């Protein structure tokens, strides 16, 4: 698939680039960001995928998270896709901020009118890695995944649904149990339909309960002053309870004073890159 370069900026000794391509899964033009560390000029690099949250594009992470310095230091490529298909002209796609455009929830929709385009799970786990591995100096065996909020949910389900595919997973303020929160219930009803049993395939807490695969070490940071934590949208305690029962190692850090914003992500981004490096370079 042909890539079109949208932008390229020297950053932390490497290059922060954005590309556009025609997606076969999403049936529309999609943009993704890729940070190429200095190491990529001479060597193959491990890849960390970053999934952003509601309303975001590929831009939020690359302009606000401060990930490039750590990625340059540890020689990791970071790929940040968009959060949904764009410009599909589906009725209702732009009506609300938490469903449709900017809110793909990293599922493969099964319901009309969403099922043709809203296949973000397949895009993130299949189409995008193939595209990245074909066009950049990657080590295809070494990939990991992280994300924020809706993207934290995405990162967790991608890792839990594909044992061994991702060497590490981490999340900032993830939606841990979408079946039980208003955001998840709205999205899953629309994309997956009224049969709640079909929702279980995209709920990290449910998936953790049946996980059997290579050990997965999960790092989660959560701001204690996050308004969505107190609004019961994130529900980390439900996931932690299941993980401790199943002996899935989770480091869960409740960070006093931090909210849901990129100021919070920026503050702990380096810890997450170190977590990923440990497993990617093992």
In 3D, which of 216, 223, 208 has the Cα closest to residue 268?
A: 223
Q: Give the residue ranges of the chain where pLDDT is below 50.
A: none
Structural contact between residues 22 and 1, judged by C-beta atoms closer than 8 angstroms = yes
Active-site annotation holds for 67: no
- State residue 58's pLDDT score: 98
Q: What pLDDT score was predicted for residue 235?
A: 98
Active-site residue (options: 148, 153, 260, 272): 260
pLDDT score at 84? 98
**Residue range of the domain that includes 115:** 4-281
Around Cβ 107, how many Cβ atoms within 10 Å?
A: 25
For the chain, the domain total comes to 1
- CA 225 – CA 217 distance, rounded (Å): 25
Rg (CA), the chain: 17
pTM of structure: 0.98
Q: The domain spanning residue 165 has which CATH number?
A: 3.40.50.1820
Residue 155 CA, distance from chain mean position: 4
Q: What is the pLDDT of residue 165?
A: 97
pLDDT for residue 282: 79
Pairing of β 218-223 and β 14-23:
unpaired
Q: Which of 23, 67, 144, 149 is catalytic?
A: 149
Scored b (16 or more CB within 10 A) or e, 11-48 reads bbebbbbbbebebebbebebbbbbbbbebbeeebbbbb
pLDDT of residue 1: 66
Q: Catalytic residue at 226?
A: yes
Note if 260 is an active site residue: yes
Catalytically annotated residue among 74, 170, 226, 272: 226
């Amino acid at each position: 698939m042909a890539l079109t370069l949208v932008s390229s900026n020297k950053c932390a000794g490497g290059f922060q680039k954005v590309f556009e391509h025609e997606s076969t899964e999403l049936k529309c033009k999609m943009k993704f960001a890729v940070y190429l560390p200095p190491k990529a000029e001479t060597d193959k690099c491990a890849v960390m995928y970053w999934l952003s949250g509601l309303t975001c594009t590929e831009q939020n992470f690359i302009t606000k998270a401060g990930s490039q310095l750590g990625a340059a230091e540890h020689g990791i490529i970071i790929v940040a896709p968009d959060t949904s298909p764009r410009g599909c002209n589906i009725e209702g796609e732009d009506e609300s901020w938490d469903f449709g455009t900017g809110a793909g929830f990293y599922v493969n929709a099964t319901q009309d009118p969403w099922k043709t385009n809203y296949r973000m799970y397949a895009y993130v786990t299949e189409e995008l890695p193939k595209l990245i591995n074909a066009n950049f100096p990657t080590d295809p065996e070494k990939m990991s995944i992280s994300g924020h909020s809706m993207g934290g949910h995405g990162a967790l389900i991608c890792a839990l649904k594909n044992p061994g595919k991702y060497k590490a997973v981490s999340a900032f303020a993830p939606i841990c149990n979408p079946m039980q929160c208003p955001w998840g219930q709205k999205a899953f009803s629309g994309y997956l339909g009224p049969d709640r049993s079909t929702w279980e395939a995209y709920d990290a807490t449910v998936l953790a309960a049946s996980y059997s695969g290579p050990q997965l070490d999960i790092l989660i940071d959560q701001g204690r002053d996050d308004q969505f934590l107190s609004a019961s949208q994130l529900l980390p305690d439900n996931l932690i309870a299941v993980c401790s029962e199943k002996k899935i190692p989770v480091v869960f850090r409740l960070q006093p004073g931090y909210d849901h914003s990129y100021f919070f992500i920026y503050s702990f981004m380096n810890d997450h890159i170190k977590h990923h490096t440990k497993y990617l370079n093992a």
